Amino acid sequence: MSGSLSSEQLELWNQWANEKDSEAANELVRIYDYLVSFHVQRISAHLPKSVSKEDVRSLGLLGLYDALRKFDMSRDLKFDTYASFRIRGSIIDGLRKEDWLPRSVRDKSKKIDGAAEILEQQLQRPPTSEEIAKELRMSPSEVEEVMKDFLFANVLSMEEKPKEGKSDHKEGVGYSIPDREAISPADNIVKQENYQELTDQIKQLNEKEQLVVSLFYTEELTLTEIGEIMELTTSRISQIHAKAIFKLRNSLMETVS
């Protein structure tokens, strides 16, 4: 690790590792704060406007502090890499525990599901967002936004790990990352089935929709960044994304039912 640090940073790390100097820790937090900002920006792009970025940032800072406390300087791993795992994990775990999806969104999602089911029976095909919006006196963009938020909540649920029981869990970079991700064989089967179903449904999207979903959820690019890559306006990317999410939501609901 020392080879990638300046003499000033190395001194701070030594003060923190050997003396648990709080001032050194605060300075290290300032130095690595850019990692928190990076993950806050990426994850917030997927969240409803009702979720405060400051709340997400607070979760990220907890992850950074946790990384400082548990990082083992003797191991061959950059702190940036280790801290990124901790920061992202802290944000995702915090969002799960706080149930960030507003009740209003959950209520609207239930109404949309009910309207979609009725319209599908009437039309003998899956309804469009415009048709559902007209039925519920909502705007198509609002319908699509609710579906996007609810789908992301489902993705969080898929990734949720089982509660930790009593164990001889070891801390330190050599153990914590693998152990933190460990799940039981039964949970792993369910998780893989969920992901496989989602993967199969994504393959049913058209080429542009697949690319937007991949760049947004896997590569964690913003809609503006995706627009630059695909040479389309942010508004157009937003439309493609919303349509894709609505199709996925409909397909997954059909599978569950």
Instruction: Give the count of domains, the chain.
Output: 2
Is the whole-model pTM more than 0.85? no
Q: Torsion-angle region of residue 137: left (phi > 0), alpha (psi -120 to 50) or beta? A: left
CATH number for the domain including 151? 1.20.140
pLDDT in tens, 131-179: 888 999 998 888 877 877 776 666 555 554 444 444 444 333 333 334 4
124 pLDDT more than 80: yes
Residue % of the chain over a pLDDT of 90:
10
Greatest pairwise CA separation for the chain in angstroms: 71
- Do 42 and 86 belong together in one domain? yes
**Residues with Cβ within 8 Å of residue 255, at least 6 apart in sequence:** 197, 201
Nearest Cα residue to 91 out of 136, 137, 141, 38: 38
pLDDT at 140: 82
**Pair (153, 35) in one structural domain:** no
Q: What is the CATH number of the domain that holds 57?
A: 1.10.1740.10
Looking at residues 117-125, what average pLDDT do you find?
84
Output the pLDDT for position 29.
92
Query: Where is pLDDT greater, at 96 or 143?
Result: 143
Note every long-range contact of 46-54, with CB atoms under 8 Å and residues 24 or more positions apart, other chains counting. 46/152, 46/216, 46/217, 47/95, 47/100, 47/149, 47/152, 48/100, 48/101, 48/102, 48/105, 48/145, 48/149, 50/100, 50/102, 51/95, 51/100
The whole-angstrom separation of Cα 143 and Cα 201 is 20
Q: Does some domain include residue 18?
A: yes
Q: Could you report the per-residue pLDDT of 232-256, keeping only the tens digit for each?
A: 887 788 778 877 877 777 666 655 5
Q: Do 121 and 43 share a structural domain?
A: no
**Does the pLDDT at position 30 exceed 90?**
yes
Place of tokens 């898929």: 158
As a whole number, the mean pLDDT across the chain is 75
Instruction: Note down the domain range covering 84.
Output: 2-98
Which of these three, 77, 98, 119, is where a domain ends? 98
Give Cα 94 to chain centroid, integer Å: 11
- Position 190 pLDDT exceeds 50: no
